[in-house]
Chains A and B, each alone.
Chain A
């Protein structure tokens, strides 16, 4: 990884911002939205589409639509221009998410790194949301990679 991308020193940004919590939100998991989500994706496993199933639960990536209130922490340095592009998501399903449950999400910056290729240097900023249920159990982690041109 390069020490700096443009005018921003990536090593310094990493040291200051990785792991810092910057947003907190609550989400109520809606049964009808769970079913509609899974059905629209062609899901045929009844655990995800039949609310009478004994193990009825949200599709594993259901939490990807739960957005944090902020993209970046307050005073986070400007890296590159604009919003950047969506580089993809990683979802870790720790426990089933049930209809009606209230999830509490905490958002952090999980990683910052750069890569240089034919089109120049790109900076990857990974925003992490961790979702816990009412008991405090971690049920889902979503890492969202945002890619910005340095």
Chain B
């Protein structure tokens, strides 16, 4: 469910799960924009030579995938802070799942704290994090 204002937010609310596109074309486009074009991100074979099962999604891209999810959940919000911990590799061209839940609210600041997770296709936790989301009204 989308939340349009702070008053719509309830402690414990889940953000709608999403399966972001982490195809090679998207990851390559991201790496180009970030001037972050390393073989482990954009070449499956090169990544395997480095010991990975396949090319991996850059950590900074996974953080922005989560931000896009938050913006869809709460249109017009401002993410004031996001903290992510990279726990394990997310593979390019795999199916990953993003989820989130509201764990705290601040009526005075009109902010919500959201716990975030990205889960790899094989069920491993790839990224965990938190974000502080500010609402306009």
Residues of A within 8 A of B (CB): 32-34, 36-45, 48, 59-61, 64-65, 86-93, 145
CB-CB nearest in chain A for B65: A41
Are A38 and B68 neighbours in the complex by a CB distance under 8 Å? yes
**Once bound together, how far apart are the Cα atoms of A33 and B36, in whole Å?**
12
Given contacts A41-B30, A42-B21, A61-B63, contact A90 B71 (CB under 8 A): no
Contact of B81 among A32, A44, A90 (CB under 8 A): A90
Cβ < 8 Å to A, chain B residues 66-92: 67-68, 71-72, 75-76, 78-86
Known: A33-B34, A33-B35. 20 other contacts (CB 8 A): A36-B33, A37-B30, A37-B64, A40-B29, A40-B30, A40-B33, A41-B20, A41-B30, A41-B67, A43-B64, A43-B67, A44-B71, A59-B64, A60-B67, A61-B60, A61-B63, A61-B67, A89-B60, A90-B82, A91-B81
Residues of B within 8 A of A (CB): 20-21, 26-27, 29-30, 32-36, 59-61, 63-65, 67-68, 71-72, 75-76, 78-86, 127, 129
Q: Which of A41, A45, A145 has the most CB of B within 10 A?
A: A41
Contact of A87 among B72, B79, B85 (CB under 8 A): B85
**Once bound together, how far apart are the Cα atoms of A43 and B21, in whole Å?**
11
Going nearest first, the 10 A-B pairs with the smallest beta carbon separation are A40-B30, A36-B33, A65-B34, A41-B64, A88-B85, A90-B83, A37-B33, A40-B29, A45-B71, A43-B68
Q: Which of B26, B27, B71 has the most CB of A within 10 A?
A: B71
CB-CB nearest in chain B for A39: B29
Are B78 and A93 neighbours in the complex by a CB distance under 8 Å? yes
Are A36 and B78 neighbours in the complex by a CB distance under 8 Å? no
Given contacts A37-B34, A88-B85, contact A45 B64 (CB under 8 A): no
Given contacts A42-B65, A61-B67, contact A89 B59 (CB under 8 A): yes
Separation in Å of the B26 CB from the closest CB of chain A? 5
CB neighbours (8 Å) of A88 from chain B are 59, 83-86, 127, 129
Are A64 and B60 neighbours in the complex by a CB distance under 8 Å? yes
CB neighbours (8 Å) of A92 from chain B are 80-81
CB neighbours (8 Å) of A48 from chain B are 71
Separation in Å of the B45 CB from the closest CB of chain A? 22
CB neighbours (8 Å) of B64 from chain A are 37-38, 41, 43, 59, 61
